[in-house]
Structure 1
Amino acid sequence: MVEKVRHQLFLAKPLSDRLEALSAKPGATKSAILADALTAWLDRRGSSELDDRFGLRLDRMTNALSRIERDGYVLLETLALFIRFELSIQAPLADGDQAGRAIGRERFEAFVGQVGRQVAAGRRTLGAEPDR
């Protein structure tokens, strides 16, 4: 059995009347109602402490993720515009132009290789100083 401690407290008349009305229902007691209300209030205070402790850090992480998302959209839009531009100014190769297709494959493989090297090394092209 849980040990209980007696408390004496004072309530405003309207609050006391509401407590009386709630405790008049079958199976309800003033002590149980007050214990539940006090437990709920104390639990909310505990969660507020967690908000105080981690809220600032979570806000910073949310802001960082928002910047990353924005940067991703900028990069995707830039890439889409560049591709559209390149496709609109480059004339298509003739069906029999095997030399032009071979040059295109070599350039593409060089491009993919360069991207792979940049990513593997952790280097960034945007915002970096130009190579000297």
Structure 2
Amino acid sequence: MSRARLNLFIEPEHARRLNELAIKKGVSKSSIVAAALAAWLSATSGGQRDTATAKRLDRLSRQFERLERDQNILIETVALYVRYYLTVSTPVPEAHQEAARAQGRLRFSQFIEQLGRRVQKGRHLLDEVRMEASVATSTPADGTEREAPR
């Protein structure tokens, strides 16, 4: 089979890596370049690349949809909590405003510290609540064990 001769200009780093690969595999640099070019130009390779890209995009779309769902749940949770809090909390009298602010700053500081510890440890409150709920449903008041619902 006759071959066409080409003079190529490639980056020095690519030339170095091509040379190392040829030595490691014990083949010529021309055969490596020819194989890479054949793979690049082949229709099946392009189809495989397109299929792989489509799968990755589908996976990313599903992840994005889950994130969007979780974000909507979080927003709804915060909104419900705020509405509940504003409904049940009584206004603080003017004479106690400064003490209430100081108490609020202290509680917020404690909250941030606890949040930092939990994030650092990788703990999630929802996981703990689920675990507690499954324990509560699997142990009835009489102390006998029963299987948690699935």
* TM-score normalised to structure 2 length: 0.49
Q: Secondary structure at the residue paired with 1:127?
A: helix
Which residue matches 2:70? 71
SS of 1:93's equivalent in the other structure is coil
Q: Which residue of 2 aligns with 1:24?
A: none
Determine the C-alpha separation between the residues in 2 that align with 1:44 and 1:76: 47
For these two proteins, the number of residue pairs brought into alignment is 90
* 1:19-77 CA-partner distances (Å, limit 9, x unpaired): xxxxxxxxxxxxxxxxxxxxxxx898765432223322321221012101110111111
Rg larger in structure: 1
Distance 2:80 2:42 in 1: 53
Alignment partners' CA distance in 2, 1:81 and 1:63 = 27
Aligned counterpart, 2:107:
107
The superposition leaves residues 102-122 of structure 1 with CA deviations (integer Å, 9 ceiling, x where unpaired) of 322222221222222222222
The residue aligned with 1:84 is: 83
Three-state SS of the structure 2 residue aligned to 1:53 is helix
Structure 2's unaligned 5+ residue stretches are 5-40, 133-150
Q: Deviations over 1:76-96 (max 9, x none)?
A: 110121012112211121122
Partners of 2:47 and 2:76 in 1: how far apart? 41
Query: Is the Cα–Cα contact under 8 Å of residues 93 and 101 in structure 1 kept in the other structure?
Result: no
Q: Which amino acid aligns with 1:75?
A: L
Which stretch of the first structure deviates more once superposed, 109-118 or 84-93?
A: 109-118
Gaps of 5+ in 1: 4-41
| Aligned residues with identical type, % of pairs | 37
For 2:99 and 2:52, how far apart are their aligned partners in 1?
Answer: 65
CA distance in 1, matches of 2:86, 2:42: 62
Q: Distance in 2 between matches of 1:53 and 1:99?
A: 61
Over the residues paired in the alignment, what is the CA RMSD in angstroms? 2.5
Which residue of structure 2 aligns with residue 93 of structure 1?
A: 92
* Residues 106, 48 of structure 1: alpha-carbon distance in 2 compared, 3 angstrom cutoff: same
The normalised TM-score by structure 1 is 0.55
Which residue of structure 1 lines up, in the alignment, with residue 28 of structure 2? none
- Structure 2 counterparts to residues 1-132 of structure 1, below 5 A: 47-97=46-96, 98-128=98-128, 129-130=131-132
